[in-house]
Chains A and B, each alone.
Chain A
Amino acid sequence: MSLVAVFAFNTAVALMAAQAAGRFGVEGHQTQKQSAQSLIDNALVRCWIDSADVDFSRSARNGPKEHELRVGVRFQVAQPAKADIETLEDEASTDLQRATALSNLTTPTLETTTALYAAWSAVFEILDDARNLTLGLPKGSISDKAYSQFKQDEFPTRGGPGILTATSFLEFRVKEAQLGDLGNEPANITMDNTLIGAGVDEVTDDVSKAGETTITTT
Protein backbone atom coordinates (compact mmCIF):
# COMPACT_ATOMS: atom_id res chain seq x y z
CA MET A 1 0.00 0.00 0.00
CA SER A 2 1.60 3.24 -1.07
CA LEU A 3 -1.03 5.79 -0.06
CA VAL A 4 0.46 8.26 2.38
CA ALA A 5 -3.09 8.90 3.66
CA VAL A 6 -3.35 5.28 4.87
CA PHE A 7 0.13 5.45 6.38
CA ALA A 8 -0.77 8.68 8.19
CA PHE A 9 -4.00 7.11 9.48
CA ASN A 10 -2.11 4.08 10.83
CA THR A 11 0.42 6.42 12.42
CA ALA A 12 -2.35 8.38 14.15
CA VAL A 13 -3.86 5.14 15.51
CA ALA A 14 -0.45 3.93 16.70
CA LEU A 15 0.21 7.30 18.35
CA MET A 16 -3.05 7.12 20.31
CA ALA A 17 -2.36 3.51 21.32
CA ALA A 18 1.16 4.39 22.47
CA GLN A 19 0.09 7.39 24.54
CA ALA A 20 -3.19 5.98 25.91
CA ALA A 21 -1.31 4.78 29.01
CA GLY A 22 -4.07 2.35 29.93
CA ARG A 23 -6.81 4.99 29.89
CA PHE A 24 -8.53 3.48 26.85
CA GLY A 25 -8.01 0.83 24.19
CA VAL A 26 -7.51 1.70 20.53
CA GLU A 27 -8.47 -0.23 17.40
CA GLY A 28 -7.93 0.92 13.85
CA HIS A 29 -10.99 -0.70 12.32
CA GLN A 30 -14.73 -0.98 12.79
CA THR A 31 -16.62 -4.01 14.05
CA GLN A 32 -20.04 -5.54 13.52
CA LYS A 33 -20.89 -6.51 17.10
CA GLN A 34 -19.35 -5.32 20.31
CA SER A 35 -19.81 -6.83 23.76
CA ALA A 36 -20.71 -4.14 26.29
CA GLN A 37 -19.17 -6.32 29.01
CA SER A 38 -15.73 -6.00 27.40
CA LEU A 39 -16.01 -2.20 27.60
CA ILE A 40 -16.47 -2.14 31.37
CA ASP A 41 -12.78 -2.65 32.08
CA ASN A 42 -11.64 -0.03 29.63
CA ALA A 43 -13.17 2.43 27.20
CA LEU A 44 -12.56 1.65 23.55
CA VAL A 45 -11.67 4.12 20.82
CA ARG A 46 -12.27 2.90 17.28
CA CYS A 47 -10.77 4.75 14.35
CA TRP A 48 -11.43 4.52 10.65
CA ILE A 49 -10.98 6.64 7.55
CA ASP A 50 -14.33 8.34 7.22
CA SER A 51 -13.46 10.14 3.99
CA ALA A 52 -10.49 11.29 1.96
CA ASP A 53 -11.18 14.15 -0.41
CA VAL A 54 -8.97 15.69 -3.04
CA ASP A 55 -9.27 19.43 -3.55
CA PHE A 56 -9.04 19.74 -7.33
CA SER A 57 -8.65 23.50 -7.21
CA ARG A 58 -5.23 23.04 -5.59
CA SER A 59 -4.13 19.77 -7.19
CA ALA A 60 -2.79 20.25 -10.66
CA ARG A 61 -2.80 17.24 -12.98
CA ASN A 62 0.92 16.73 -12.76
CA GLY A 63 1.56 18.60 -9.54
CA PRO A 64 1.59 17.40 -5.93
CA LYS A 65 -1.66 15.80 -4.79
CA GLU A 66 -3.16 16.28 -1.36
CA HIS A 67 -5.72 14.21 0.49
CA GLU A 68 -7.99 15.94 2.95
CA LEU A 69 -8.35 13.10 5.39
CA ARG A 70 -11.23 12.76 7.84
CA VAL A 71 -10.60 10.09 10.45
CA GLY A 72 -13.57 8.92 12.51
CA VAL A 73 -12.75 8.56 16.22
CA ARG A 74 -15.56 6.65 17.93
CA PHE A 75 -15.83 6.20 21.67
CA GLN A 76 -17.51 3.14 23.16
CA VAL A 77 -17.96 3.15 26.91
CA ALA A 78 -19.95 0.96 29.30
CA GLN A 79 -20.05 1.16 33.07
CA PRO A 80 -22.18 -0.49 35.73
CA ALA A 81 -23.28 1.16 38.96
CA LYS A 82 -20.81 1.47 41.83
CA ALA A 83 -21.44 0.69 45.48
CA ASP A 84 -19.72 -0.72 48.53
CA ILE A 85 -20.23 -4.37 47.53
CA GLU A 86 -18.19 -5.73 50.42
CA THR A 87 -20.67 -4.32 52.93
CA LEU A 88 -23.69 -5.49 50.94
CA GLU A 89 -22.36 -9.03 50.63
CA ASP A 90 -20.98 -9.31 54.15
CA GLU A 91 -23.23 -11.56 56.28
CA ALA A 92 -22.19 -9.64 59.40
CA SER A 93 -23.30 -6.24 58.09
CA THR A 94 -26.09 -4.50 59.98
CA ASP A 95 -29.19 -3.06 58.35
CA LEU A 96 -27.83 0.44 58.92
CA GLN A 97 -24.50 -0.41 57.24
CA ARG A 98 -26.30 -1.93 54.26
CA ALA A 99 -28.64 1.06 54.03
CA THR A 100 -25.65 3.41 54.01
CA ALA A 101 -23.94 1.34 51.31
CA LEU A 102 -27.12 1.42 49.22
CA SER A 103 -27.57 5.16 49.66
CA ASN A 104 -24.14 5.64 48.07
CA LEU A 105 -25.07 3.46 45.06
CA THR A 106 -24.42 5.40 41.88
CA THR A 107 -26.26 4.95 38.61
CA PRO A 108 -24.78 3.33 35.48
CA THR A 109 -25.70 6.44 33.49
CA LEU A 110 -23.62 8.68 35.75
CA GLU A 111 -20.64 6.32 35.77
CA THR A 112 -20.75 5.88 31.99
CA THR A 113 -21.02 9.59 31.26
CA THR A 114 -18.03 10.26 33.52
CA ALA A 115 -16.03 7.51 31.78
CA LEU A 116 -16.90 8.84 28.32
CA TYR A 117 -15.77 12.39 29.13
CA ALA A 118 -12.55 11.03 30.65
CA ALA A 119 -11.78 9.10 27.45
CA TRP A 120 -12.64 12.12 25.28
CA SER A 121 -10.40 14.33 27.39
CA ALA A 122 -7.51 11.85 27.07
CA VAL A 123 -7.85 11.57 23.29
CA PHE A 124 -8.06 15.37 22.95
CA GLU A 125 -4.91 15.78 25.05
CA ILE A 126 -3.04 13.35 22.79
CA LEU A 127 -4.23 14.56 19.40
CA ASP A 128 -4.07 18.28 20.21
CA ASP A 129 -0.70 18.13 21.97
CA ALA A 130 1.76 20.48 20.30
CA ARG A 131 4.34 17.69 20.27
CA ASN A 132 1.97 15.65 18.13
CA LEU A 133 1.46 18.38 15.55
CA THR A 134 2.52 16.07 12.74
CA LEU A 135 1.30 12.87 14.48
CA GLY A 136 4.89 11.69 14.65
CA LEU A 137 5.46 11.99 10.91
CA PRO A 138 8.30 14.10 9.42
CA LYS A 139 7.80 17.87 9.39
CA GLY A 140 5.75 19.04 6.42
CA SER A 141 4.07 15.65 5.89
CA ILE A 142 0.72 16.80 7.16
CA SER A 143 -0.93 20.15 7.64
CA ASP A 144 -4.13 21.77 8.92
CA LYS A 145 -4.63 19.15 11.64
CA ALA A 146 -7.78 19.61 13.70
CA TYR A 147 -9.58 17.40 16.20
CA SER A 148 -13.22 18.36 16.52
CA GLN A 149 -16.94 17.58 16.20
CA PHE A 150 -17.51 15.49 19.33
CA LYS A 151 -21.10 14.22 19.17
CA GLN A 152 -22.56 12.10 21.94
CA ASP A 153 -25.28 9.52 21.21
CA GLU A 154 -28.32 8.73 23.35
CA PHE A 155 -28.35 6.12 26.12
CA PRO A 156 -29.96 2.87 24.90
CA THR A 157 -33.08 1.92 26.83
CA ARG A 158 -32.24 -1.74 27.45
CA GLY A 159 -29.50 -3.65 29.17
CA GLY A 160 -27.77 -3.73 32.52
CA PRO A 161 -24.74 -1.46 32.29
CA GLY A 162 -24.98 2.03 30.92
CA ILE A 163 -23.68 2.25 27.38
CA LEU A 164 -22.59 5.42 25.68
CA THR A 165 -21.10 6.01 22.28
CA ALA A 166 -19.82 9.21 20.75
CA THR A 167 -18.12 10.13 17.52
CA SER A 168 -15.53 12.79 16.83
CA PHE A 169 -13.28 13.51 13.88
CA LEU A 170 -9.60 14.11 13.31
CA GLU A 171 -8.98 16.03 10.11
CA PHE A 172 -5.71 16.81 8.38
CA ARG A 173 -4.20 17.26 4.95
CA VAL A 174 -1.52 14.92 3.69
CA LYS A 175 0.68 15.10 0.61
CA GLU A 176 0.57 12.05 -1.58
CA ALA A 177 3.61 10.70 -3.41
CA GLN A 178 2.41 8.86 -6.47
CA LEU A 179 5.01 6.18 -7.14
CA GLY A 180 3.42 4.57 -10.18
CA ASP A 181 1.30 1.46 -9.99
CA LEU A 182 3.19 -1.81 -10.49
CA GLY A 183 0.13 -3.32 -12.18
CA ASN A 184 -0.02 -0.64 -14.81
CA GLU A 185 2.85 -1.54 -17.13
CA PRO A 186 3.33 0.92 -19.93
CA ALA A 187 3.95 -0.19 -23.54
CA ASN A 188 7.49 -0.09 -24.96
CA ILE A 189 8.46 3.35 -26.15
CA THR A 190 9.78 3.58 -29.68
CA MET A 191 11.35 6.82 -30.76
CA ASP A 192 11.60 8.02 -34.32
CA ASN A 193 15.30 8.18 -35.25
CA THR A 194 14.76 11.25 -37.34
CA LEU A 195 14.05 13.17 -34.14
CA ILE A 196 17.01 11.76 -32.24
CA GLY A 197 19.78 13.07 -34.40
CA ALA A 198 22.72 11.81 -36.36
CA GLY A 199 24.24 8.48 -35.43
CA VAL A 200 21.26 7.11 -33.44
CA ASP A 201 18.66 4.94 -35.22
CA GLU A 202 16.30 3.91 -32.40
CA VAL A 203 15.92 4.10 -28.64
CA THR A 204 13.73 1.54 -26.90
CA ASP A 205 12.90 1.67 -23.23
CA ASP A 206 11.60 -1.74 -22.19
CA VAL A 207 10.04 -1.54 -18.73
CA SER A 208 9.70 -5.32 -18.54
CA LYS A 209 13.51 -5.48 -18.57
CA ALA A 210 13.78 -3.33 -15.47
CA GLY A 211 14.30 -0.06 -17.27
CA GLU A 212 16.97 -1.40 -19.63
CA THR A 213 17.48 1.06 -22.46
CA THR A 214 18.74 -0.14 -25.82
CA ILE A 215 20.28 2.30 -28.24
CA THR A 216 20.85 1.04 -31.73
CA THR A 217 23.49 2.96 -33.61
CA THR A 218 24.44 2.86 -37.24
Chain B
Amino acid sequence: MSLQTQAVKIAGIAHKLSGTTVFLIDPDGVKTEHDDCTFLSGRVTQSPDSGEEMVVFRPVATFPRSSLTRIPADGEKWALLAPLDPEIPDTLTTLSLDPSKAIEGGRSLGTIRLYLSEVKQS
Protein backbone atom coordinates (compact mmCIF):
# COMPACT_ATOMS: atom_id res chain seq x y z
CA MET B 1 0.00 0.00 0.00
CA SER B 2 1.47 3.31 -1.04
CA LEU B 3 1.96 6.16 1.38
CA GLN B 4 -0.74 8.13 -0.43
CA THR B 5 -3.29 5.31 -0.15
CA GLN B 6 -2.50 4.88 3.54
CA ALA B 7 -2.97 8.58 4.18
CA VAL B 8 -6.33 8.65 2.36
CA LYS B 9 -7.44 5.62 4.39
CA ILE B 10 -6.43 7.29 7.66
CA ALA B 11 -8.30 10.43 6.61
CA GLY B 12 -11.37 8.26 5.93
CA ILE B 13 -11.18 6.70 9.40
CA ALA B 14 -10.86 10.14 10.95
CA HIS B 15 -13.96 11.22 9.02
CA LYS B 16 -15.97 8.24 10.29
CA LEU B 17 -14.93 9.13 13.81
CA SER B 18 -15.91 12.76 13.45
CA GLY B 19 -19.05 12.30 11.30
CA THR B 20 -19.46 16.02 10.90
CA THR B 21 -21.76 17.58 8.36
CA VAL B 22 -20.65 21.01 7.21
CA PHE B 23 -21.79 23.49 4.58
CA LEU B 24 -19.36 25.21 2.26
CA ILE B 25 -20.28 28.50 0.57
CA ASP B 26 -18.20 29.47 -2.44
CA PRO B 27 -17.58 33.07 -3.57
CA ASP B 28 -20.60 32.81 -5.93
CA GLY B 29 -22.85 32.11 -2.94
CA VAL B 30 -23.42 28.47 -3.87
CA LYS B 31 -23.93 26.41 -0.70
CA THR B 32 -22.97 22.72 -0.74
CA GLU B 33 -23.39 20.11 1.98
CA HIS B 34 -20.41 17.92 2.88
CA ASP B 35 -20.35 14.93 5.14
CA ASP B 36 -17.01 13.78 3.78
CA CYS B 37 -15.08 16.48 5.59
CA THR B 38 -12.82 15.96 8.57
CA PHE B 39 -13.40 18.91 10.79
CA LEU B 40 -11.12 19.51 13.70
CA SER B 41 -10.83 22.43 16.01
CA GLY B 42 -8.08 22.90 18.47
CA ARG B 43 -5.92 25.43 20.14
CA VAL B 44 -2.31 26.21 19.50
CA THR B 45 0.09 28.42 21.35
CA GLN B 46 2.48 30.84 19.85
CA SER B 47 4.67 33.65 21.00
CA PRO B 48 4.48 37.03 19.37
CA ASP B 49 7.73 38.89 18.84
CA SER B 50 7.97 39.71 22.48
CA GLY B 51 6.01 38.97 25.60
CA GLU B 52 3.85 36.10 26.60
CA GLU B 53 2.42 33.13 24.74
CA MET B 54 -0.94 33.39 23.02
CA VAL B 55 -3.40 30.52 23.06
CA VAL B 56 -5.20 30.59 19.71
CA PHE B 57 -8.32 28.83 18.46
CA ARG B 58 -7.62 27.11 15.13
CA PRO B 59 -10.34 25.14 13.31
CA VAL B 60 -9.20 23.10 10.30
CA ALA B 61 -11.38 21.33 7.70
CA THR B 62 -9.95 18.71 5.36
CA PHE B 63 -11.91 17.87 2.20
CA PRO B 64 -11.29 15.24 -0.46
CA ARG B 65 -10.50 17.37 -3.50
CA SER B 66 -12.85 15.25 -5.60
CA SER B 67 -15.83 16.23 -3.45
CA LEU B 68 -15.49 19.93 -4.21
CA THR B 69 -17.14 21.50 -7.22
CA ARG B 70 -14.24 23.91 -7.41
CA ILE B 71 -10.99 24.26 -5.48
CA PRO B 72 -10.57 27.46 -3.43
CA ALA B 73 -7.95 29.75 -4.90
CA ASP B 74 -5.68 32.12 -3.02
CA GLY B 75 -7.40 35.35 -2.07
CA GLU B 76 -10.94 34.04 -2.56
CA LYS B 77 -13.60 34.52 0.09
CA TRP B 78 -15.23 31.27 1.21
CA ALA B 79 -17.36 30.50 4.25
CA LEU B 80 -17.96 27.26 6.10
CA LEU B 81 -20.89 26.55 8.39
CA ALA B 82 -19.93 23.93 10.97
CA PRO B 83 -21.19 22.74 14.37
CA LEU B 84 -18.48 23.85 16.79
CA ASP B 85 -20.22 22.48 19.87
CA PRO B 86 -20.78 18.68 19.67
CA GLU B 87 -23.56 18.96 22.24
CA ILE B 88 -25.64 21.10 19.90
CA PRO B 89 -24.87 19.70 16.41
CA ASP B 90 -27.78 21.56 14.84
CA THR B 91 -26.30 24.93 15.71
CA LEU B 92 -23.91 25.97 12.98
CA THR B 93 -21.20 28.57 13.37
CA THR B 94 -19.92 30.60 10.44
CA LEU B 95 -16.22 30.32 9.78
CA SER B 96 -14.29 31.95 7.00
CA LEU B 97 -11.37 31.15 4.85
CA ASP B 98 -9.02 34.04 5.49
CA PRO B 99 -8.28 35.57 2.06
CA SER B 100 -5.08 37.10 3.46
CA LYS B 101 -3.58 33.63 3.96
CA ALA B 102 -2.36 31.37 1.17
CA ILE B 103 -4.08 28.01 0.66
CA GLU B 104 -1.78 25.19 1.69
CA GLY B 105 -1.61 21.47 2.25
CA GLY B 106 -3.26 18.32 0.99
CA ARG B 107 -2.32 18.65 -2.65
CA SER B 108 -0.36 15.43 -3.00
CA LEU B 109 -2.79 13.36 -0.91
CA GLY B 110 -5.95 14.07 -2.84
CA THR B 111 -7.25 16.25 -0.07
CA ILE B 112 -7.27 19.96 0.61
CA ARG B 113 -6.93 21.46 4.04
CA LEU B 114 -8.65 24.73 4.82
CA TYR B 115 -7.53 26.85 7.77
CA LEU B 116 -10.51 28.73 9.08
CA SER B 117 -11.27 31.57 11.41
CA GLU B 118 -14.33 32.76 13.26
CA VAL B 119 -16.47 35.52 11.86
CA LYS B 120 -18.29 38.24 13.78
CA GLN B 121 -21.46 39.92 12.62
CA SER B 122 -20.56 43.13 10.78
State the A residues within 8 Å of B (CB): 30-37, 40, 74, 76, 78-86, 88-89, 93-110, 153-154, 156, 158-163, 165, 167
**Chain A neighbourhood of B100, CB < 8 A:** 107-110
Cβ contacts B2-27/A at 8 Å (1 or 0 each)? 00000000000000000000000101
Q: In the bound complex, what is the Cα–Cα distance between A105 and B78 (angstroms)?
A: 9
Contact status B96-A165, CB under 8 Å: no
Contact present for A81 and B98 (CB under 8 Å): yes
A-B contact number at CB 8 A: 149
Taking a contact as CB atoms under 8 Å apart, the answer to whether B50 and A163 are in contact is no
How far does the Cβ of B108 sit from chain A's closest Cβ, in whole Å?
22
A107 pairs with B81, CB closer than 8 A: no
User: Which single member of A36, A86, A109 contacts B55 (CB below 8 Å)?
Assistant: A36
When the two chains form their complex, are residues A89 and B52 in contact, meaning their CB atoms are under 8 A apart? no
Shortest CB-to-CB span from A20 to chain B, Å, is: 20
Closest CB-CB distance, A35 to chain B, in whole Å?
5
Chain B residues contacting A105 (CB-CB under 8 Å) are: 77, 79, 96, 99, 119
Query: Max chain B CB contacts within 10 Å: which of A85, A101, A109?
Result: A85
B-side binding surface: helix, strand, loop or mixed?
strand
- Min Cβ gap B121→A in Å is 5
Chosen A-B contacts, 22 in total, with CB atoms closer than 8 Å, are: A30-B51, A31-B52, A34-B52, A34-B53, A36-B56, A36-B57, A37-B57, A40-B120, A78-B54, A79-B120, A82-B122, A83-B94, A88-B25, A88-B79, A95-B30, A95-B31, A98-B25, A159-B56, A160-B56, A160-B58, A160-B116, A165-B48
A32 and chain B: residue at smallest CB distance: B52
The answer to whether B92 has its CB under 8 Å from any CB of chain A is yes
Number of residues on chain B facing chain A (CB within 8 A): 40
Among B49, B54, B77, B118, residue most surrounded by chain A Cβ atoms (within 10 Å):
B54
Q: Is B64 an interface residue, CB under 8 A from the partner? A: no
B58/A159 in contact, CB under 8 A: yes
Tell me if A154 and B49 are in contact (CB < 8 A). yes
Contact A156 B54 (CB under 8 A): yes
The one of B28, B59, B92 in contact with A160, judged by C-beta atoms closer than 8 angstroms, is B59
Which of chain B's residues has its CB closest to A72's CB? B51
Q: Is the CB of A80 within 8 A of B119?
A: yes
Q: Decide: A153 near B49, CB < 8 A? Known: A36-B57, A85-B119.
A: yes
Tell me, in angstroms, the Cα distance from A40 to B30 when the chains sit together: 29
Within 8 Å CB of B79, what residues of A? 83, 88, 98, 102, 105
